[in-house]
Amino acid sequence: MEWLVVVLNFIGQQILNVPAYLIGIITAIGLMAMRRNSGQVIGGALKAALGFLILGAGAGVVVGSLDPLGALILAVTGAQGVIPTNEVITALAQEEFGAQSAYVLTLGFIVMLILARFTPLKYVFLTGHHMVFMATMLTVVLSVGFGDGLSWLVVLIGALLLGVIMVVMPAFAHPWTKKITGNDTIAIGHFGTLGYIAAGASGQAVGRRSKSTEDINFPQGLKFLRDSMVATSLSMVLIYMVFAIWGLIALPLEEALAIFGAADAGAFIMAGFGLALQFGVGVAVILYGVRTVLGELVPAFQGIAEKVVPGAKPALDIPIVFPFGANAVLIGFLSSFAGGLISLGILAIWLNPMFGLALILPGMVPHFFTGGGAGVYGNATGGRKGAVIGGFVNGVIITILPAILLLVLGELGFANSTFGDADFGWFGTLIGVSLLGGTTLGVVLTIVIAMVLVIAAIAFQRKFVDTGWVPGANRQEWLDGLKAEEKARADAEKARKAEERKTAAASSAETVPQKAE
């Protein structure tokens, strides 16, 4: 059976783990289902894959600009603790659990397709790297809970749980996703979903009379800030400059210069400036990649919806919503980071001494991607207030939940990292706690959890998604009324000016001398 492990590892790591390949394959299947010719199938699949590679390239640029900033912040603040990084903890786990997680990944994908085909949860999760992260986490938690010698049980239960979580989370987030996109063509397939739902609900609670982040009226001299790429870059320049100057003051010069690989203080400052601009470039590349992949994938998915999984919706990575709220992304990121810092203080002062929870340091990358997404969700239901509060709530969630998750990761929990996004925290902890009563009870409880999630998601789908429930409807009524008032004022001003012109014309006619007969 060793050859089967090799094949499954190849499928899981070299195909399903590469979102671009998975997106290209799905696009090709959709186009073939629509009976497109071979040229259209190949061209569409390649363009969709290239769009995702562009998105990934942009994400890589963003990560490359944020990592030095994170190192600088840790150095100047002196913080010590665990940094949640999905890639790092997955790489560590693969050494011991690689074969089992490959089985879980492959079978879990099949379970997801079966659920999408035969239940109302018509979502196909296409974020390949998050599938790998979740498969790995479930394998670790189940292996710790069941113990050695039950790898087959780990695979079966893990595949069931993976397939379930990949169809239920897009369903729970879908009303807010539709609010953002304005249509029903795509869903969110990203395991930070709890944070996005919390952000949308928070925005709905606090921002009933708050305008959108995208309607910020800049003074005439600041009109250039309406360009999201410029505004994003400028904000990062300010952040980098503050911490760069702080670093030069607070750290020994050699230690500070080593963070950016600079030769002197001037080069250190300019390196920070360049990294800040690089961040803006990365965000712009991400947005272009999103537009490219959507242009190919959504039409092709009509074929899958009609032939393979009727009514299916692609569940895509979180940057897919970034173009719907470019300002909200930046606001959500900064608010999420602030929430992470405050939560770190709570951990240090209270939760660590009382309950032994690890100190979770705010990682710039998870706070940018999940915080930015939370900002968009919060803005959709609560405008500017919603983006701020939604991002902040997400920051609290992705700080506290990873600390709790470490308690159920066994020996792997001693590593200086953990899974970072919200759904890994709550789902992994829930599964880990269900295994405390032994193998038999653990199997029963995990199956019950899977069934409850599916039933709850189906009920949510029918009651809220299928009926067209719109989150933040009261705010929308207020916005509509505000627009009507603004239109009435504009119409009144237009009528006033027209009357003034008419009066001026009449007055001018009266003062013209009569021509002599």
Q: Let me know if 349 is exposed, middle or buried by CB neighbors in 10 A (0-12, 13-18, 19+).
A: exposed
Give domain status of residue 58, yes or no.
yes
Residue 496 lies in a domain: no
Q: What are the tokens at 90?
A: 């997955």
- Domain-located, residue 392: yes
Q: What is the pLDDT of residue 127?
A: 83
User: Does residue 505 sit within a domain?
Assistant: no
13 lies in which domain range?
2-487
CA–CA dist 442, 423 (Å, integer): 20
Asked if residues 383 and 203 have their Cβ atoms less than 8 Å apart, the reply is: yes
Residue 506 maps to a domain: no
Local mean pLDDT, 10-residue blocks, the chain (517 residues): 75 69 79 85 88 78 81 77 74 75 82 92 87 88 81 92 96 95 91 96 86 74 64 80 90 90 91 89 78 72 69 89 89 93 90 83 84 95 93 96 84 66 94 90 95 97 92 71 76 81 74 54
The β-bridge partners of 125 are: 315
Name the strand (E) or helix (H) holding 315.
strand 313-316
- Give the pLDDT score at 517: 45
pLDDT, position 436: 87
- The confidence score (pLDDT) of residue 188 equals 95
Amino acid 172: pLDDT: 97
What is residue 359's predicted lDDT score, i.e. its pLDDT?
A: 82
Q: What is the pLDDT of residue 199?
A: 96
Is residue 492 assigned to a domain? no
Q: How many domains does the chain have?
A: 1
Give the model's pLDDT for residue 431. Answer: 94
106 assigned to some structural domain: yes
pLDDT value of residue 488: 80
Does 62 map to a domain? yes
DSSP β-ladder status, 123-125 and 187-188: unpaired
Collapsed DSSP state (helix, strand, coil) of residue 389: helix
Identify whether the C-beta of residue 207 lies closer than 8 Å to the C-beta of residue 382: yes
* Type and span of the H or E element at 390: helix 364-405
DSSP 281-345: HHHHHHHHHHHHHHHHHHHHHHHHHHHTSTT-EEEE-GGGGGGG-HHHHHHHHHHHHHHHHHHHH
What per-residue confidence (pLDDT) applies to 114? 92
